[in-house]
């Protein structure tokens, strides 16, 4: 494996880790897959794009707008679509229907605003690449990797060392017992949606900068789902491991068979894990509600 492939795999895996972690946070607490996460990522990325393109603002304001948009819209989605379901233990079908409906609404908002066109973020860097010997690193890839690592380290600290993080872990383990111990379950779930939405916004911006921004960008949430399955649904650590592994596998496959056939092999990889080790690398065993 060449050093160039390792670098590209780390860069790809880092943004997949953001997607997988945001996706897994909701699953970890509520035990259902939030299929509106991808559409939220797209909506946040376009909000960042409009700020960058129309207002001429730099990279940091663009990221902040996308992150705040993702957090606020995710919080609104929790209040509108999921609050009564989670509190009243409604049938699992409603989780699925609500997340799909919410995702369709987000995609509809983007489509009405921008149509089916493709967009490119403004050039934020004077030097688009950095060369170290024979290895060429995209400046945006380097920034994406750095921001992803820092963000995930901050999230790990919050989950392990803060009161809110300990509450989140308690609710994810047993919601009823956590409530009896004085933890505000509703606020904890709101906090989970805020963090998940912020991660969606950050991932959306980096995907838009590194690739192309389009209304169906949210379909890349499938990468986060595959990474979660490989790492272990219900495990945040597993989601990160699965995302990095998926990034390496995709980078190697693209160099061997091309980008057209790579999705086929990644789906096959997910199926192999489901057949051989359904609990994933991290070994979590969680039953999904929807």
Element (H, E) at 45: helix 37-55
- Euclidean distance between the first and the last CA atom of the chain, given in angstroms as a whole number: 39
Quick check: 90 and 99 in contact, CB under 8 A? Answer: no
Query: Taking phi first (over 0 means left), then psi (-120 to 50 degrees means alpha), and beta for anything else, what does residue 135 get?
Result: beta
Q: Give per-residue burial for 123-159: e unless 16+ CB within 10 Å, then b.
A: eeeeeeeeeeeeeebbebbbbbbebbeebbeebeebb
Q: In the structure, how many helices (H) and strands (E) does the chain have?
A: 12, 2
Could you give the residue ranges of the DSSP H alpha helices within 83-235?
83-88, 92-114, 139-161, 163-173, 175-180, 185-210, 221-231
Who contacts 281 (Cβ-Cβ below 8 Å, separation ≥6)? 230, 231, 232, 238, 241, 242, 245
Residues 6+ apart with CB under 8 A from 68: 198, 201
Instruction: Tell me the Ramachandran region of residue 127: left when phi exceeds 0, alpha when psi lies from -120 to 50, beta otherwise.
Output: beta
Q: Rounded CA gap, 76 and 125, in Å?
A: 34
Inter-helix orientation angle 37-55/92-114, to 10°: 20
User: Mean pLDDT lowest for which of 90-99, 129-138, 230-239?
Assistant: 90-99
Measured CA to CA, the distance from residue 46 to residue 121 in angstroms comes to 10
What's residue 17's pLDDT? 92
The answer to whether 101 and 81 have CB atoms below 8 angstroms apart is yes
Could you tell me which of 14, 5, 10, 250 has the C-alpha nearest to residue 136? 5
Position 289 scores a pLDDT of 47
CB atoms within 10 A of CB 208: 25
pLDDT tens, 70-110? 999 899 888 877 776 665 555 555 555 556 666 666 666 66
Q: What percent of the chain has pLDDT over 70?
A: 86
Classify burial at 72, counting beta carbons within 10 Å of its beta carbon; exposed 0-12, middle 13-18, buried 19 or more: middle
> Which tens digits make up the pLDDT trace of 59-71?
888 899 999 999 9
Predicted confidence at residue 290, as pLDDT, reads: 43
- pLDDT on residue 150: 93
Q: Is the pLDDT of residue 53 over 50?
A: yes
Residue written as token pair 């609710």: 171
When pLDDT is averaged across residues 171-192 and rounded to a whole number, the result is: 87
pLDDT tens digits, residue range 5-27? Answer: 888 888 889 999 999 998 888 88
Q: Hey, what are 89's tokens?
A: 């233990």
Radius of gyration of the chain (CA): 19
Q: Which of 205 and 132 is assigned the larger pLDDT? A: 205
The model's confidence at residue 218, banded by pLDDT at 50, 70 and 90, is: confident
């Amino acid at each position: 494996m060449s050093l160039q492939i390792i670098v590209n795999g780390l860069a790809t895996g880092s943004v997949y880790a953001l997607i997988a972690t945001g996706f897994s946070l909701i699953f970890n607490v509520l035990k259902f897959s939030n299929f509106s996460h991808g559409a939220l990522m797209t909506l946040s990325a376009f909000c960042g794009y409009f700020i960058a393109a129309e207002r001429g603002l730099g990279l940091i304001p663009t990221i902040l707008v996308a992150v705040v948009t993702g957090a606020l819209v995710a919080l609104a989605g929790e209040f509108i679509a999921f609050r009564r379901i989670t509190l009243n233990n409604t049938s699992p079908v409603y989780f699925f229907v609500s997340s799909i409906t919410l995702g369709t609404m987000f995609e509809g908002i983007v489509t009405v605003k921008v149509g089916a066109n493709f967009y490119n973020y403004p050039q934020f860097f004077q030097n688009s690449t950095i060369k170290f010997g024979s290895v060429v690193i995209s400046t945006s890839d380097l920034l994406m990797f750095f921001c992803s690592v820092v963000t995930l380290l901050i999230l790990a600290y919050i989950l392990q060392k803060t009161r809110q993080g300990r509450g989140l872990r308690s609710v994810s383990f047993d919601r009823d017992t956590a409530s009896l111990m004085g933890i505000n379950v509703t606020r904890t779930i709101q906090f989970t949606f805020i963090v998940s939405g912020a991660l969606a916004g950050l991932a959306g911006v980096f995907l838009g900068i590194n690739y192309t921004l389009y209304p169906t960008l949210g379909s890349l949430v499938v990468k986060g789902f595959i990474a979660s399955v490989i790492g272990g649904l219900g495990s945040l650590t597993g989601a990160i491991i699965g995302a990095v592994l998926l990034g390496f596998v995709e980078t190697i496959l693209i160099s061997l068979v091309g980008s057209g056939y790579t999705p086929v092999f990644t789906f096959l990889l997910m199926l192999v894990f489901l057949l051989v080790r359904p609990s994933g690398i991290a070994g979590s065993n969680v039953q999904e509600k929807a």
